[in-house]
Amino acid sequence: MIKVGIVGGTGYTGVELLRLLATHPEVELAAITSRKEDGMPVADMFPSLRGRVDLAFSSPDKARLTECDVVFFATPHGVAMAQAPELLAAGVKVIDLAADFRLQDTASFEKWYKQPHTCPDLLKEAAYGLVELNRDAIRKARIVGNPGCYPTTMQLGFAPLLKAGVIDASHLIADCKSGVSGAGRKAEVATLFSEASDNFKAYGVSGHRHSPETLERLSLLTGDKVGLIFTPHLTPMIRGMHSTLYARLTTDIDNAGLQALFEQAYADEPFVDVMPFGSHPETRSTRASNMLRIALHRPADGDTVVVLVVQDNLVKGASGQAVQCMNLMFGLEETAGLRHVPVLP
């Protein structure tokens, strides 16, 4: 059994990790940290885990994380890089759900996350945790930087087109929407029920910190310069993400050829569903699952291809993806503990 520790188990990604790992056939939950809730049974905070998780939260100094096989960080940016050196020295693998090990460009990290990167040497060896595009590196890694939720949809949506060289890489557009849980489990006016419900708004239009991450990774897929206009929106739902991606075609390719690019790219991917051409995937078709669904459109058979991508922002966009990485890192079946059917309605 894999002994797992979770740092920061009281947020939405933390409880989602607990939900997934509590029924994972190869996992033993060994420690869940929270300074504020030290000593509180996890099931008292999250009644959905009664009978599944018997642990209590413990402060980090009591958690004995160095005795784990892997530690997940479901924490604010900056926490993982402060604790990773000690854990790695003890032979513990690290999976960070924040941004500490996503960007290889430390100057970019420091610009967007407003803090210095304290272990650039470890950053150099960190694997980017988007399994479908970086599987071999993740399998061999000691430390993984889990992708952002928006970047997951953008990369998997644009990747087959960029790899095939059939679009203008310098003029990509991503119009993305996320449920309120993407903002985290904290008290903020913008995410209060009376503020977010019955409302719809864009944010981060002039610049969002997921942009440099996405650009860095998309640039690895093509020899062309990548340009991206990315606009995120907040939608009045708890979980779910819908990204509408636009790209201009530069080669003579028919609709069947476009569909074939995606079907071939993701033919063996258990968590990517390429739907029939012209489909309209819904966010609820992925709710509470690690599945991501993609559908292609070509309005008026013109030179623009539209890619629709949906996922659950807390699962494939965060905790499920992290578990998928863990499975690879420990030589398990990639789907272990992640076979949940989406919840509907």
Answer whether residue 163 is part of any domain. Answer: yes
Answer whether residue 170 is part of any domain. Answer: yes
Of the chain, the percentage scoring pLDDT greater than 70 comes to: 100
pLDDT confidence band for 60 (50 / 70 / 90):
confident
Task: State which of 110, 125, 140 marks the end of a domain.
Answer: 125
Predicted local confidence at residue 195, as pLDDT: 87
Residue 207 scores a pLDDT above 80: yes
Q: Over the range 261-295, which residues count as b (16 or more CB within 10 Å of their CB) and which as e?
A: bbeebbeeebbbbbbeeeeebebbbbbbbbbbbbb
Answer whether residue 328 is part of any domain. Answer: no
CA angle at 340 for the pair 337 and 343, rounded to the nearest 5°? 150
Predicted local confidence at residue 9, as pLDDT: 87
pLDDT confidence band for 182 (50 / 70 / 90):
confident
Report how far residue 313's alpha carbon sits from residue 151's, in angstroms, rounded to the nearest whole number. Answer: 11
Report how far residue 224's alpha carbon sits from residue 250's, in angstroms, rounded to the nearest whole number. Answer: 13
Q: Are residues 115 and 155 in the same domain?
A: no
- Which of the two residues, 329 and 36, has the higher pLDDT score? 329
Residue 327 scores a pLDDT above 80: yes
SS3 category, 251: coil
Residue 187 scores a pLDDT above 80: no
Listed in sequence order, the DSSP H helices in the chain are: 12-21, 42-45, 79-89, 106-113, 120-125, 131-139, 149-164, 193-196, 210-218, 255-265, 320-329
Residue 191 scores a pLDDT above 90: no
Predicted local confidence at residue 61, as pLDDT: 86
Q: Are residues 75 and 186 in the same domain?
A: no
Nearest alpha carbon to residue 95 among 158, 177, 4, 20: 4
Active site residues: 149
Answer whether residue 131 is part of any domain. Answer: no
Which range of residues forms the domain containing residue 66?
Answer: 2-125
Q: What is the mean pLDDT of the chain?
A: 96
AA identity, residue 104: Q
Residue 158 scores a pLDDT above 80: yes
Q: Are residues 107 and 169 in the same domain?
A: no
Q: Are residues 106 and 177 in the same domain?
A: no
Answer whether residue 143 is part of any domain. Answer: no
pLDDT confidence band for 126 (50 / 70 / 90):
very high
Report how far residue 54's alpha carbon sits from residue 49's, in angstroms, rounded to the nearest whole number. Answer: 8
Q: Are residues 154 and 299 in the same domain?
A: yes
AA identity, residue 154: M
Predicted local confidence at residue 183, as pLDDT: 80
* CATH code for the domain in which residue 284 is found: 3.30.360.10
Of the chain, the percentage scoring pLDDT greater than 90 comes to: 92
Q: Are residues 177 and 285 in the same domain?
A: yes
Q: Are residues 66 and 191 in the same domain?
A: no
Answer whether residue 258 is part of any domain. Answer: yes
Residue 174 scores a pLDDT above 80: yes
Answer whether residue 329 is part of any domain. Answer: no
Number of domains in the chain: 2
Residue 151 scores a pLDDT above 80: yes
Predicted local confidence at residue 332, as pLDDT: 98
Answer whether residue 249 is part of any domain. Answer: yes
pLDDT digits (tens, 9 = 90+) for 84-97: 999 999 999 999 99
Q: Are residues 119 and 169 in the same domain?
A: no
